[in-house]
Amino acid sequence: MKFFVDTAETADIADLSAMGLIDGVTTNPSLIAKSGRDFKTVIAEICKLVDGPVSAEVAAMDYATMIKEGRVLAKIAPNVAVKVPLTIDGLKVCRALRADGIMVNVTLCFSANQALLAAKAGASFISPFIGRLDDIHLDGMELIREIRTIYDNYGFETEILAASIRTANHIRECALAGADVATAPAGILKGLSQHPLTDKGLQQFAADWAKTGQSIL
Catalytic annotation, residues: 83
**Bridge partners of 182?**
3, 162
Using CB under 6 A as the binding criterion, the count of chain residues that bind ligand E4P stands at 11
Of 164, 170, 179, 186, the one binding ligand E4P by CB under 6 A: 164
Alpha carbon separation from 154 to 114, 157, 179 (Å, rounded): 15, 9, 16
Contact characters 22-41, ligand E4P, x per CB under 6 A = ----x-x-------------
Smallest distance, Å, CB 9 to ligand E4P?
Answer: 13
Stretch that binds ligand E4P, among 34-42, 85-93, 125-133, 143-151 (CB under 6 A): 125-133
CB atoms within 10 A of CB 216: 4
Determine, following the binding rule CB under 6 A, whether residue 10 of this chain makes contact with ligand E4P: no
Measured from the CB atom, the residue of 65 and 167 that comes closer to ligand E4P is 167
* Residue numbers 103-122 binding ligand E4P by CB under 6 A: 107
Alpha helix (H) residue ranges in the chain: 10-18, 29-35, 39-49, 63-74, 88-99, 112-120, 130-135, 140-154, 168-177, 186-191, 196-212
**Angle between the N-to-C axes of helices 168-177 and 140-154, in degrees from 0 to 180, rounded to the nearest 10:** 20
Of 39, 129, 151, 156, the one binding ligand E4P by CB under 6 A: 129
Smallest distance, Å, CB 179 to ligand E4P?
Answer: 12
| 3-state class (DSSP) for residue 104 | strand
